[in-house]
Every structure is written in C-alpha cells, then in structure tokens.
Amino acid sequence: MQMSGWGRYPVVDAHLLQPRTIEQLTTKLGAHSGQDCIARGLGRSYGDSSLAAEMLGTHYLQHFLNFDEKTGDLSCAAGVSLAEILEVFVPRGWFLSVTPGTKFVTLGGAIASDVHGKNHHVDGCFSEHVSRLKLLLADGHTVDCSRTEHSELFHATCGGMGLTGVIVEATLRLKPIVSSFIQQTLIKAVNLKDALEQFENHADFTYSVAWIDCLATGDQLGRSLLMLGEHAKQGDLHSGHAGKLSIPIEMPSFLLNRYSVQAFNFLYYNKVRKTRSHQYIHYEPFFYPLDGIHDWNRLYGKRGFTQYQCVLPKSAGLEGMSRILKRIAQSKKGSFLAVLKAFGKGNENWLSFPFEGYTLALDFKLDNSLLSLLNELDQIVLDYEGRLYLSKDARMSEALFKQTYPHWERFAALREQTGADKVFNSLQSRRLGL
C-alpha cells in the first residue's frame, strides 16, 4: 500500500502490519521477511522516519494500565494517543507535562521523537517526564528501561526514532491543573530582535511561542506575535472536542504562492491591534490550533510539503535567525505556518533535538526549486553549530546529520550490539547512514 508521513513526501509502497497485542507484535517481528522494519504510530512525523518496507503499527496497543492519583504517574501501552490521555484525565484535573503542537500522536511516537512543547525552557522534553519504558528488542525479548536500569537503551530510545526497538509500554508523569483554560498574554513584536528580547524578558512564563512573519523584510524582519500562557486558576475541567472543519480534497498547489502567503501574513499580524493584550481561552486553541482542521496537510496539494525545523545556540540566535529569514524572504517561498520558540538546556538522550537556544519551524510546499533553498539554509545552520529535527526531516544529508549529532557513533554502536541494525531501519536511517 502507498504510505507517507504527515508531509505526504516521500510516498512509498509498504506493508503495514497491525498486531492487536504485544504477543502478536512479537510474533510478527519474529516472522518478518528480513526487509527493513520500523514501528509506526499515527503517522504524524513529517518525513520518512516511520517509513520502511514493513511497518509495525501500534494502533491497537491503546490501553491504560495504571494511574497513581497521588503522583500523577500514568502507565499505558504505547499506542495510546495524547488525545486519549487528555480526554480521560483533563476532567480529573491532570494535563500532559509536555505536549507538542498536535495531540494526535501516540505515546510511543512522542518518546521516540522526544517531542518538545511551548515550555521547553521550563520543563524540557517529553522524555524528561517518562520514568520507565518497555522496549521490544530485535531478538523478540522485552526489557524494562529507565535512567537506572538499562540506562543506555533508555537514553538511546528517547529521541531514537524507533531505531532501537518497539516501545510497547511506558510510564509518564502528568501535571495537576484546576482548569482546562489558559490565561494567554499576546505581545506584538515589531521585528526579530524585539521578539527574542520578549522571550528573554518573559522567561518566567511556563509557556511561550511566537508566530513569525517569514516574508517581512527590512526593519520589520521577523515581526512576530508572541503568545505566553499559564494554566488558569479557575474555570471548568473539560477536554476538547473534535474539530468540525476538514480539508476534503487536495487543494491546487498554485493557491499557495508568495502573494497568498504574504497576504495571509499581513492580515494575521495586523489583526492584533494592541501591543499587549490578554485572553482567557481553552487549552485546545492554545496548544493545538491546527488539530481543529482535519487533514490540513492537504492544503499543500498533491506533491505535499516538508517542515524545516532548526535550532541555533542562543548566542547566535539573532544573527543566525536573521540570515535564515532574509534568505527565505529573498526566495519568496514564505510559510504561513512559521513558529519560533525558546529552548532551555538539552538532555542526556543521544539523538534528542533541543539544546539551549532558539528553534524555528516552517512549512514549505514542495516544488522543483525548494531543495536548493533548503540546502542553503542547511549551510547557515551548520555555520552557527545548529541542527535539524529528525522528526520533521525528509531530506537532511548524512554529512549534516553526522556533523550536528555528536553521539551518532555511540548510538550506531548500541544498535549493532543489540542487533537492531539488522531489523529496525527506516528510509530516514538509511539516508542518514545509521
């Protein structure tokens, strides 16, 4: 069958297996054909990290195992989605300690990508709130991993893109809340320098993120809307509802062009009149603004799109991000989904993406000239000792990966030691020389 990631590029012929139990998963792993194999959750990684000749789906591994009301520790199977966790536990006064920009990812996928959210500068990555996980190895055995038990497997698996084995269970800690609403502060930044200063001036906020106009130039380069948030101290406790909007067909790609994106960015930035304003909103539009539009990836047309997400050190933030934004503006290939965030310190996981600095994420419609632009952006990222996010990547070179992920050799050695290199390979791992 034809399969792809969320960006719908690349598209490959693959065989998707859907075991209903861990036992069936183990049996299917033992009977696999010898072709490359990788675990796949809800397919929300953007590129080719969950694509292989054979994919082990975790859709049916979606049961809760245990919850400790005193600590907030939740144990469940890896196929449980963040949406399902929120639906059950928000009404009980609990929220995810870290969440990415979509709730439609599985627990296993969140760990494998070591996802981050709007609170990385305060709470780090998703894995920092995971105390243990159960991993199915290439030889069919399962092992319990934590920071103290099989710690190397734990640090390789968190952020390891499924290349050490199949995560089948995990325990994570939820955070207590008294309301499902967010107190949001919206700040209008006139340019990139202003935006970065606002991040620093408001580092005490738990959540912070900026939408950035990547086509603005001159004194307005990097003008942004900075959104700060805290969990409200009053209000009802109810989870969100499924959005009613959907994109029923692939949109003609010509609709997304420099003029339509420029018009959208102008209107979106200028819809906010005040320099600073406050809103009381449900957590859904704050954390998951696009989840209310089903199949929104169809907006980019038949050829699909790719997301380019990089991180640069804090010391290089203004200069490096300015170079990137200037080059994008010159190319006229702007994105209306452009997000800027501040990162705190990195963690001990071998392939985890974040380190202290700033991260910029942009969606680009695929066309014949895009890859040459992205190659230029790669060089800027390399010049400032940054890196790209594996979970969003669809075209990074092996050379760039090995220059920017210093623990890759240690990771490759562990894969060889456990036999994972003979079984668990994705299109991405082949491309990156893993």
336 has a pLDDT exceeding 80: no
CA dist 224 and 209 (Å) reads: 10
The alpha helices in 192-345, defined as continuous H runs, are: 192-201, 258-270, 283-287, 317-331
CA dist 330 and 373 (Å) reads: 10
Nearest to 309 by CA among 379, 215, 387: 387
The tokens for 8 are 């719908």
Convert the pLDDT of each residue in 283-292 to its tens digit. Answer: 999 999 999 8
Nearest to 258 by CA among 304, 217, 310, 309: 217
Q: Is 0.85 topped by the overall pTM?
A: yes
CA dist 97 and 120 (Å) reads: 10
Convert the pLDDT of each residue in 339-367 to its tens digit. Answer: 999 999 999 999 999 999 999 999 999 98
DSSP label of 424: B
Right CATH for 64-177 from 3.30.360.10, 1.10.3720.10, 3.30.465.10, 3.40.1580.10? 3.30.465.10
33 has a pLDDT exceeding 90: no
Nearest to 24 by CA among 162, 105, 160, 136: 136
For residues 196 and 298, the model is more confident at 196
Q: What are phi and psi of 250, to 5 degrees?
A: -70, 125
High-pLDDT (> 90) share of the chain, %: 82
253 has a pLDDT exceeding 70: no
Mean pLDDT (whole number) for 154-172: 98
In this structure, are residues 44 and 105 in contact, taking their beta carbons and an 8 Å threshold?
A: yes
CA dist 376 and 186 (Å) reads: 33
Which of 153-157, 161-165, 289-293, 345-349 shows the lowest per-residue confidence on average (mean pLDDT)? 289-293
Q: pLDDT value at position 420? A: 97
Convert the pLDDT of each residue in 102-142 to its tens digit. Answer: 999 999 999 999 999 999 999 999 999 999 999 999 999 99
- Class of the 181-401 domain? alpha beta
Q: pLDDT value at position 113? A: 98
Parse the chain into domains and list their residue ranges.
64-177, 181-401
